[in-house]
Chains A and B, each alone.
Chain A
Amino acid sequence: EAAVTQSPRNKVTVTGGNVTLSCRQTNSHNYMYWYRQDTGHGLRLIHYSYGAGNLQIGDVPDGYKATRTTQEDFFLLLELASPSQTSLYFCASSVNWGLSYEQYFGPGTRLTVL
């Protein structure tokens, strides 16, 4: 079974702070995704990648950067965190791109920006 891990699981920072969320998948999946989950909005795609060094913009990218350093590792960066970025963040991976491919999600990181 696909394994996706995230760290940290909880993070508290202040407005203007610098935050890095980490994600690792161990099943050699090509695609990785970052989502945020907020009540009333469901899951929204921030960024995604189809391989090391690649980055694609999602639906809500403002205020976020991301970097895929290896096939396994995908990072989400908030360089000037704002309270509006308080949310539950999920990383996911899939073997390929397209509707027929299941996405495997990590356990999530709860970020609070004070």
Chain B
Amino acid sequence: SQWGEENLQALSIQEGEDVTMNCSYKTYTTVVHWYRQDSGRGPALIILIRSNEREKRSGRLRATLDTSSQSSSLSITAAQCEDTAVYFCATANTGANTGKLTFGHGTILRVHP
């Protein structure tokens, strides 16, 4: 999980495997962003999921959002070496009417050939 006091997580898998990264948050929210950061570059949005979607797909990516458990996940199917990156979830306190994103600590994903 990416939130709270957890340290930056690291996952190492073989090419072709499936992987899931989890994110839990502490505030009421209706939208979760998932960003990917490649080495030496800034983060880039890969999926934005809303509470009325529960699941959203983009190519080999699949995001879920469960507002009752305040958690979101990002899955990659048949991971490839180019999926190696740091993945962040980000959200904001919808109840506080602020769009200020708070980012999780991130998951370092390494995909080996």
Contacts and interface: CB of A to CB of B under 8 A. Distances in A.
Interface of A: 4, 39-45, 48, 58-59, 90, 92, 97-108
Nearest to A45: B100
Given A39-B8, A40-B8, A42-B104, A102 B41 contact: no
Interface stretch (B13-21, B27-35, B53-61, B71-79): B27-35
Nearest to B94: A99
A102 B48 contact: yes
A105 B99 contact: no
A103 B8 CA distance: 22
B8 A99 contact: no
A100 B31 contact: yes
Most chain A CB within 10 A, of B43, B88, B104, B106, is at: B43
Contacts of B100: 45, 48, 58-59
Q: How would you classify the secondary structure of chain B's contact residues: helix, strand, loop or mixed?
A: loop
B44 interface: yes
Interface residues of B, number: 27
Nearest to A9: B40
B81 interface: no
A92 B101 CA distance: 12
B4 to A, nearest CB: 11
A43 B40 contact: no
Interface in B61-100: 88, 90-92, 94, 99-100
A40 B2 CA distance: 10
A105 B42 contact: yes
Contacts of A102: 33, 45, 48
B110 interface: no
A60 B22 CA distance: 26
B31 to A, nearest CB: 4
Given A99-B91, A99-B99, A43 B31 contact: no
